[in-house]
Structure 1
């Protein structure tokens, strides 16, 4: 299915801009040194292609295991009314995605989950990481759940 996350009308303030990209660059080496686990949260480094610029982008993102063994990321933006920029990069280039997990770099394909599959994974997500339920309460948009599947 396609990426179709729509913006909401209310939510938390979303960090963005040059300062945020600089912070991401500074945080990524820490994530790598700690094998992708920081303060008890599994974090991967997401490499995408900018949907407008075509430039390489890198963003640390928390992840959870999917029921089928793949990885799930949630476009929560901490409950902001808009999706994070990386969501639009994935939507534009779902086959041009790479992740760093621990000491591995893996080419993946991004797919937004819908319907019953999303609902089942959402229940698993909020059971494992209740902060996402809190983010959902802050906004009126449905937080997109993205599955990252290995491309062999």
Structure 2
């Protein structure tokens, strides 16, 4: 599983790629749009940002995956948005959007998970690595 250092370094590299290319590179990965999710730290109370991909985009709603590459623990951003669902999403084109995050219950997750894994099999591999059910989170504009 990736270390915290690896995850932070990857995020920093992604942000740098977007910045130095003036948004030409790093806007998507494996066909999924990239976005920057900013949550409020549940312990620190400070803004925390992470680069993610959205395997499902439905109009102005986005589905993101709390996979942490199949790690046995949820990513920190997941716990942050569970405690405070008011988040901000920034897009490579410069737009910033206040959104509300909601963790999908199992009955809503199941059909979307099937779709995510069919389109992006890497997530199926992540699920195989862990015993936890990898959450899906819906981001809806406020």
Moved over 4 A (4+): 66-69
1:77-116 → structure 2 map (5 Å cutoff): 77-95=68-86, 97-103=87-93, 104-116=95-107
The alignment partner of 2:14 has SS state of helix
Aligned length: 137
Distance in 2 between the 1:78 and 1:21 partners? 13
Counterpart Cα distance in 2 of 1:71 and 1:35: 18
Supply the distance in 2 between the matched residues of 1:56 and 1:67 (Cα, whole angstroms): 26
Alpha carbons 1:31, 1:44 under 8 Å: kept:
no
Q: Is the 8 A contact 1:25 1:58 kept in 2?
A: no
Is 1:129 aligned to 2:125, yes or no?
no
Could you tell me which residue of structure 2 aligns to residue 118 of structure 1? 109
SS of the aligned residue for 2:82 comes to: helix
Could you give the per-residue CA deviations for residues 29-67 of structure 1, whole angstroms, max 9, x where no partner exists? 424623622454422111111110111111001112255
- Structure 1 residues without counterparts, runs of 5 or longer: 1-12
Higher relative contact order (CA 8 A, sep 6+): 1
Tell which deviates more after alignment, 131-140 or 41-50. Answer: 41-50
Match of 1:28 in 2: 15
**Unpaired runs of 5+ in structure 2?**
none
Aligned to 1:76: 67
SS at match of 2:4: coil
Please name the residue that 1:143 is paired with.
134
Residue 124 of structure 1 and its aligned partner are, at CA, apart by 1.1
1:47 and 2:47 equivalent? no
Moved more, 69-78 or 141-150: 69-78
Shift of 1:141: 0.4
Distance 1:23 1:66 in 2: 23
